[in-house]
Structure 1
Amino acid sequence: MGLTNAPTAALTALAPTVWGSTYLVTTELLPPDRPLLATTVRALPGGLFLLALGRRLPAGVWWWRALVLGVLNIGAFNALLFVAAYRLPGGIAAVLLSAQPTFVVLLAALLLGEPVTARHALACALGAGGVALLVLRGAVAPDTVGVLAAVGGALCMASGITLTKRWGRPEGVGLPTFTGWQLTAGGAVLLPVWLSLEEMPDRLTGANLLGFGYLAGLGAVLSYLLWFRGIARLPAVAVSLLALGSPVVAALLGYLVKDQTLSALQLLGIAAVLLAVVLGQPTSSRSGRTT
């Protein structure tokens, strides 16, 4: 990875680092059994805040583009992620979602003209294998709906990354406003789903409010600002591989905070994921748009 790209990749990697902490925050701070509430609160308030800050709505084709990107990157992705998490063991869901960089390689070749290289193929294989070593625990019976949801989530994220890269953002629109469009669209799509399937908790504690604030502030506003900035400046495949850092962070936090163990195979998996991330980064400063 060229020195020019290293700071951008490091900043972009902070987004999946924060996302990797979501499981710990959810289990320790949020009301139980309210996944759709958590995802809606994560997206919609932050999106509305950024919209109010930028005071600019989409225009022309960007009405439907913002909706498509918001659904792919946030709304549908998060909904499918939680369906997969509820119907599959976490390890199986994480492994299926780790197919996302492979989908990006194919979509980037078709839509962006990014060549498919042996280096990218090796990085995708190492990343998926590393996640499998990190999270898989024994044999389980597959759940068809859960498997389809996990694969659908991976396709949503891959499509969101690729289309965000292809469309860029309109001239004169700042990154916070662009991020606000997508968070608002994604949250608005999630809102009726949450209202139809879940109820509000009987009461919210101070810990609950702290957890929701973390998800909306760091987990959405800051992390998606960094994520979309990275998509604009790095090749799509490089960004997609950075997302594999989420299960690594989740495992490390479980070890540090919840006294969970890390086996030799899990440590090997972490090393494989990190190597995949490095292999997937561009080797020169010509990495993509800098919008």
Structure 2
Amino acid sequence: MTSPVAHRTGGNLSRTLLTALAPLTWGTVYLVTTELLPPGHPLFAGLLRALPAGLIALAVTRTLPRGAWWGRAALLGTLNIGLLFPLLFVAAERLPGGVAATLTAAMPLMVALLAVTLLHERPSPRGIAWGVIGVAGIGLVVIGPDAAFDGVGVLAGLAAAATLAFGVTLTKRWGRPAGVGPTAFAGWQLTAGGLFLLPVTFLAEGAPPAIGPAEAFGHLWLGLVCGLVTFVLWFRGVTTLPVTSVAVLGLFSPLVAALLGAVVLGQTLRPVQLVGFGLALAAIVAGQLPTRRRIRAARPAPAAAAVSRAAEGNGAGGRRR
């Protein structure tokens, strides 16, 4: 008979792998933004990434929030989408991709601290230590000697990490309403974030830029793949997996961005960057290992276990008779 701990571990592994596809795909955002999208329109890029994808999800699921979830969906959509997208685009435009990625890689550390106050979890020294190691590893991978630190870009990168950390932690605290699937849940937030961006975009940036074939492909990739598909996987993971484990998966994004820079743009990976890759990957793997508290929580209580064994014994005796 398979133990509950082993069964839960196997289920978590499959959900973790699917959730990891989101930050792996988000690693392409830096390349697409700098190579395909018109510069100077970060709000417009965020708007097209969010609103069409959200409306598609709502049209497919035909599920709207109810009661308190109207306000919760609006807040989560603003944090996870409406504020996050333009901040990421501003950071990507004003900083080298590596610097922007390192700043946003601080998100797991912020989540670990927020979990103490918002989720009433005891602080995990191991989780915080691996979060620091992960950020250090990302820094070794993506920050070169010629990195430029633009003040506005630095603030945008840190603000992006903070808004995502708040959004992820609140998403974990509130969970997903009963009977609402991950596609509808993602659609609420993408739509709310897009509606938040709609007036801000046209007030701040005016008329949208011209869109040619390359720009259209970039926006479709960011909206349908990096928007709709990946956020369905991401929010499914946030609501079903430990929040700190999900947060550390975000380190995959800058690693993919660095690999694409080497493969597509011909950037060289030095030995120190390979060391950073190793540290970041070690932090990701360590973040998925169950703590003693999680193992104890997964085990049935002694009384429940005794009842289960007695029931199995009776069943076996009944079959022998």
Q: When the two structures are superposed, what TM-score results if normalisation uses the length of structure 2?
A: 0.83
Equivalent pair of 1:233/1:288 in contact (CA under 8 Å): no
Moved more, 77-86 or 41-50: 77-86
One-letter identity of the residue aligned with 2:75? V
Give the equivalent residue in structure 1 for 2:253: 246
Residue 26 of structure 1, CA deviation:
2.4
Residue 316 (structure 2) aligns with: none
Structure 1 residue aligned with 2:198: 191
**Structure 2 residue matching 1:58: 3-state secondary structure:** coil
Deviations 1:8-28 (A, max 9, x none): 111111001111011222233
Question: Counterpart in 2 of 1:18?
Answer: 25
3-state SS, counterpart of residue 63 of structure 2: coil
Matched, 1:201 2:201: no
The equivalent residue for 2:308 is none
Which residue type is aligned with residue 118 of structure 2? L
Cα deviation for residue 235 of structure 1 reads: 0.7
Name the structure 1 match of 2:113.
106
Equivalenced residue count is 288
Structure 2 residue identity aligned to 1:201? P
CA deviation after TM superposition for structure 1 residue 111, in Å = 1.8
Aligned to 2:180: 173
- Specify the alignment match of 1:155 in structure 2: 162
- Mapped to 1, the partners of 2:96 and 2:296 lie a distance apart of 37
One-letter code of the match for 1:82? F
**Structure-1 residue corresponding to 2:227:** 220
Is the 2:95–2:148 contact (alpha carbons within 8 Å) kept by the matching residues of 1?
no
Q: Which residue of 2 aligns with 1:116?
A: 123
CA shift for structure 1 position 88: 3.6
Residues 137, 275 of structure 2: 8 Å contact kept: yes
1:229 offset after TM fit, Å? 0.8
Structure 1 Cα separation of the partners of residues 146 and 246 of structure 2: 31
* CA displacement, residues 47-94 of structure 1 (integer Å, 9 cap, x when unaligned): 001111122221211111001100111111122223333444433332
More contact order relative to length (CA 8 Å, sep ≥ 6) = 1
Structure 2 gaps, min length 5: 1-5, 299-321
Contact 1:233 1:287 in 2 (8 A): no
Paired position in structure 1 for 2:139: 132
1:208 maps to a residue whose letter is: E
Aligned to 1:263: 270
Secondary structure of residue in 2 paired with 1:188: helix
Give 1:103 deviation, angstroms: 0.8
User: How far off is 1:232 after superposition?
Assistant: 1.4
Aligned to 2:313: none
Q: What is the identity, as a one-letter code, of the residue corresponding to 2:253? A: S
Structure 2 counterpart of 1:193, one-letter code: V
Retained in 1: the 8 A contact 2:91–2:154? yes
8 A Cα contact 1:5 1:287, kept in partner: no
Per mean C-alpha deviation after superposition, the further-off stretch among 8-17 and 118-127 is 118-127
Aligned-pair distance for 1:141?
7.0
Amino acid at match of 1:159: F
The residue type equivalent to 1:5 in the other structure is N
RMSD of Structure 2 on Structure 1 (CA): 2.3
> What secondary structure does 2:110 align onto?
helix
Q: Does 1:7 align with 2:23?
A: no
Shift of 1:137: 2.0
1:43 is the counterpart of 2:50: yes
Moved more, 3-12 or 157-166: 3-12
- Hey, what's the Cα distance between the residues in 1 that align with 2:218 and 2:176? 31
SS in 1 for 2:30: helix
* Greater Cα offset, 185-194 or 63-72: 185-194
- The one-letter amino acid of 1:195's match is F
Choose the corresponding residue for 1:34, options 29, 41, 49.
41
Query: Judging changes above 3 Å, is the alpha-carbon distance between structure 1 residues 50 and 235 closer, same or farther for their aligned structure 2 residues?
Result: same
SS in structure 1 of the partner of residue 162 of structure 2: helix
Distance in 1 (alpha carbons) for counterparts of 2:148 and 2:34 = 25
Residue identity opposite 2:35 in structure 1? E
% of aligned pairs identical? 49
Question: Higher Cα Rg: structure 1 or 2?
Answer: 2
In structure 1, what is the Cα distance between the partners aligned to 2:57 and 2:29? 21
- 1:64-75 matched pairs, under 5 angstroms: 64-75=71-82
Q: Which stretch of the first structure deviates more once superposed, 251-260 or 30-39?
A: 30-39
Are the aligned partners of 2:100 and 2:154 in contact in 1 as well (CA < 8 Å)? yes
- Residues 8, 105 of structure 1: alpha-carbon distance in 2 compared, 3 angstrom cutoff: same
5+ residue gaps, structure 1: none
